[in-house]
Structure 1
Amino acid sequence: MKTIILSTAIRLLTPLFQVFSIYILLRGHNHPGGGFIGGLIGAIAFVFDTLANGHESTEKTFFTLKVYQQPRKSGISYLQHYLQFIRMNIQRKKEAGQLDVQQQYCIQLRPVYLMALGLFIATISGTISLLLQQPFMTSQWPEFHIPVLGSPGTPLLFDLGVYLLVMGIILKIVFTLAKE
């Protein structure tokens, strides 16, 4: 169902859904909510965008990063080369004669990568306590405080892993179903 009204509404609501999902993720640190519900809300934004615009458009808009690279000139250091590389990617300007088609790369962020990263982060949050010679998944709290978050400990790290895992699973299911 591709309509102009739905497409425009989803374009405006997607950032709102993402901000709300991050709020729910951080709120679950001390109150009900957390990684699972935040991941579902975050995935809903992309589900609605897929319904409105199709999975190709959603993957191209939100999950593709274009990276431009220049060949390294002789006589400059690697640090200078990478600073130029970062500057060119931030500006995203194609100057005449500097960029060829072969020097533009697209990095595709697939839902499977989100699932793997989320599982890795959740596992790391549990193994931190093992490294400190305590039982697996024992909460660890640092001594410093961040103004909005408070004291971010391993439960927040675990919630972040669950957030990415849930979002990756939902997106994988939706993109697979949308392709058929």
Structure 2
Amino acid sequence: MRTIILSTAIRLLTPVFLIFSVYILFRGHNHPGGGFIGGLIGSIAFVFHVLAHGANATAKVFFSLTLYHYPRQEGKSRTRYFLQIMNANLRGRRKGDKELHWNYIFVRVSPVYLIGVGLLMAVSSGMIGLVSGYSFMKGLWMDMQLPVIGSLGTPLLFDAGVYLLVMGMVLKMIFTMSKE
């Protein structure tokens, strides 16, 4: 059942859930919590959006990307071409660009890609210690510190990988169940 109250509430709560999940991800870097619970909280935002708007609308809003491009013309500088492409992809095409024949590529990010990237990040965090001459999954930290996050290291890379892995798994389950 789709209601206007649920749709409005979800539109307001989705950014709150996502920001809180990223907070939990970074808090778990030095305290209990981290990637697993952050991924679950982040996926709750998308689960509620699927309940309010449907799986196709959620995939279109959050997991679809339209990239604009056009063939580079002879005699034009590469820098200007690159800046026009970046401007079109970040701000949208301008209405006055009648002389350019814009093409577009529609890209959809599947939850399976989130699972794969998360698994790659988690495994590579362990491999960094192994390549450095330590044991597998040895925690290594960089010398620099960021103001809010703290020191960057392989535990944070592992937590970010688990975050994406959990979010991808939950999204894959929800999208599959909502289509049936």
Tell me whether the two structures share a fold, i.e. TM-score over 0.5.
Answer: yes
- CA shift, 1:7, in A, is 0.5
Greater mean deviation of Cα atoms: 33-42 or 71-80: 71-80
- CA shift, 1:94, in A, is 4.1
Identity of aligned residues (%): 54
Q: Are the structure 2 counterparts of residues 78 and 43 from structure 1 closer, same or farther at C-alpha, using a change threshold of 3 Å? A: same
Asked if 1:71 corresponds to 2:78, the answer is: no
- CA shift, 1:75, in A, is 1.2
Q: State the aligned residue count.
A: 179
Kindly report which structure 2 residues correspond to 1:141-152, keeping only aligned pairs within 5 A, or say none: 141-152=141-152
- CA shift, 1:154, in A, is 0.4
TM-score when normalising by structure 1: 0.95
Structure 2 unaligned blocks of 5 or more: none
Letter in 2 for 1:163: Y
CA-to-aligned-CA distance 1:74-116 (integer Å, 9 cap, x gap): 112434322221012122034253566x712211111000000
Letter in 1 for 2:31: H
- CA shift, 1:52, in A, is 0.4
TM-score when normalising by structure 2: 0.95
Kindly report which structure 2 residues correspond to 1:17-166, keeping only aligned pairs within 5 A, or say none: 17-95=17-95, 97=98, 103-166=103-166
On the 8 A contact 1:70/1:98 being kept in 2, the answer is no
Which residue does the alignment assign to 1:172?
Answer: 172
Q: Are the structure 2 counterparts of residues 32 and 99 from structure 1 closer, same or farther at C-alpha, using a change threshold of 3 Å? A: farther
Partners in 1 of 2:105 and 2:99 — Cα distance?
15
CA-to-aligned-CA distance 1:139-170 (integer Å, 9 cap, x gap): 00111111111111100100000000000000
Q: Are the structure 2 counterparts of residues 98 and 39 from structure 1 closer, same or farther at C-alpha, using a change threshold of 3 Å? A: farther
CA-to-aligned-CA distance 1:33-85 (integer Å, 9 cap, x gap): 10000000000000000000000100000001111112211112434322221
Q: Are the structure 2 counterparts of residues 5 and 169 from structure 1 closer, same or farther at C-alpha, using a change threshold of 3 Å? A: same
Greater mean deviation of Cα atoms: 167-176 or 129-138: 129-138
- Structure 1 stretches of 4+ moved >6 Å: none
CA-to-aligned-CA distance 1:2-38 (integer Å, 9 cap, x gap): 1100000000000000000000000111111100000
- Which protein is richer in strand relative to its size? 2
Letter in 1 for 2:173: I
Letter in 2 for 1:11: R
CA-to-aligned-CA distance 1:111-132 (integer Å, 9 cap, x gap): 0000000001111111111111
Letter in 1 for 2:130: L
Partners in 2 of 1:118 and 1:99 — Cα distance?
39
Structure 1 unaligned blocks of 5 or more: none
Partners in 1 of 2:43 and 2:77 — Cα distance?
42
Q: Are the structure 2 counterparts of residues 83 and 156 from structure 1 closer, same or farther at C-alpha, using a change threshold of 3 Å? A: same
